[in-house]
Amino acid sequence: MEAGAVLRIGELSKRSGVSPELLRAWERRYGLLQPTRSPGGLRLYSLDDLERVRMMRQHLASGLAAAEAAALLSRAAPGEAARVPGASPDEARAELAEALDNFDEPRAQSLLDTQLAALSVDAVLTDVLLPYLSELGERWERGEASVAQEHFASSVLRGRLLGLGRGWGLGLGPLALLACLPGEQHELGLIAFGLAIRARGWRIGYLGSDTPVETVERAARALSTQLIVLSAVTPERVRAAAAELRPVAASHRLALGGRGAAEELADGVGALALTGDPVVEAERVTSSHGPLVS
């Protein structure tokens, strides 16, 4: 007998927010649930069934049709956790941190080789490099990492990421122009973002650190640019450039990235704020590119 068969259909309905009629219809049509029966024939559901119904509702809310939602649940049910093993990204990050802390460039390179061979660029960025960078930032703020370590790690990673970006100006996709705001030296997040949208078919024009706004504007005109992304780690840099940025935002699609790009600041100049993980934001920017075009 089913272990936790404790809910009658009325109770399941209340907890899940789905009418009893509909629950029966789902059972008949898609075999979504297979409740045990009481001696008198009443349906008895388990808590797993409740979870199943909730998943069903989630899928419906996300736009799937009932038949497909149910099919997804049936398929996913048996093999819940079929994850790829491989060296865990956490271990990789820890090893990377150790290598860079000890100024051991070859070892860091070799670790990155391994990771890049096993995973996509996206995955390495998301699971290894970006977490490592924020970790480094935090340690640095707490005074646990020396300036030397921070400089060394940045240089190694910058070279590596720029190497991955080789040829990113090539192709047919829309062009994104990337630069750091005046005074800003931290390029890594920006380069990561560039790699992520490169992987999504965009072309990249990269101007590097500490770039005058007027410079960006001129390059944008020269290159029929679809998107400009400017990055800054501190809000001050954004504020300092705000007046110059407004006209840019008027004539181009402009986004501000990096920890310095608060929502209000970006709104203030008519730009999109990219405050999160570069890979996530890349996904957002590229998929939201749609409506603008139609």
Partner DNA sequence: ATAGGTTTTGTCAAGCTTTTGTACAT
Partner DNA sequence: ATGTACAAAAGCTTGACAAAACCTAT
19-38: contacts with DNA (CB under 7 A): 19-22, 24-26, 28-29, 38
Contact 180, 230 (CB under 8 A): yes
Cα pseudo-dihedral 212, 220, 293, 193, rounded to 10: -50
Phi, psi (deg, nearest 5) at residue 183:
90, -20
Among 34, 36, 65, 270, binds DNA (CB under 7 A): 65
Strands (E), the chain: 36-37, 43-44, 175-180, 203-206, 227-231, 254-257, 272-274
- Nearest distance from residue 75's CB to DNA, in Å? 16
Other CB atoms within 10 Å distance of the CB of residue 140:
15
Other CB atoms within 10 Å distance of the CB of residue 145:
19
As a whole number of angstroms, the distance between CA 274 and CA 277 comes to 8
> Which residue stretch of 41-49, 149-157, 184-192, 279-287 sits at the interface with DNA (rule: CB under 7 A)?
41-49
- Nearest distance from residue 102's CB to a second copy, in Å? 8
280 binds, among a second copy, DNA, none (CB under 5 to 8 A by kind): none
Among 158, 239, 246, 259, binds a second copy (CB under 8 A): 158
Q: Which is nearer to a second copy, 178 or 265 (CB)?
A: 178
The answer to whether residue 54 forms part of the interface with DNA (CB under 7 A) is no
For residue 227, what is the enclosing H or E element?
strand 227-231
What amino acid occupies position 192?
A: A
Contact 184, 231 (CB under 8 A): yes
Q: Which is nearer to DNA, 24 or 246 (CB)?
A: 24
Q: Of 30, 35, 32, which Cα lies nearest the Cα of 9? A: 35
Query: What Å distances lie between residue 259 and 38, 94, 96, 197, CA to CA?
Result: 58, 23, 23, 19
Give me the 83-112 binding string for a second copy, x by CB under 8 A, dash otherwise: xxxx-xx-------------xxxx--xx--
9 binds, among DNA, a second copy, none (CB under 5 to 8 A by kind): DNA
> Which residue stretch of 142-150, 236-244, 245-253, 264-272 sits at the interface with a second copy (rule: CB under 8 A)?
142-150
> Which residue stretch of 114-122, 234-242, 245-253, 268-276 sits at the interface with a second copy (rule: CB under 8 A)?
114-122
Q: How many helices (H) and strands (E) does the chain have?
A: 14, 7
132 binds, among DNA, a second copy, none (CB under 5 to 8 A by kind): none
> Which residue stretch of 18-26, 84-92, 221-229, 262-270 sits at the interface with DNA (rule: CB under 7 A)?
18-26
As a whole number of angstroms, the distance between CA 179 and CA 49 comes to 52
Phi, psi (deg, nearest 5) at residue 37:
-120, 145
**Site size with DNA, rule: CB under 7 A:** 25
Among 4, 10, 159, 270, binds DNA (CB under 7 A): 10
What amino acid occupies position 77?
A: A
- Nearest distance from residue 26's CB to DNA, in Å? 6
Residues engaged in binding DNA (CB under 7 A): 8-11, 13, 19-22, 24-26, 28-29, 38-43, 60, 65-68
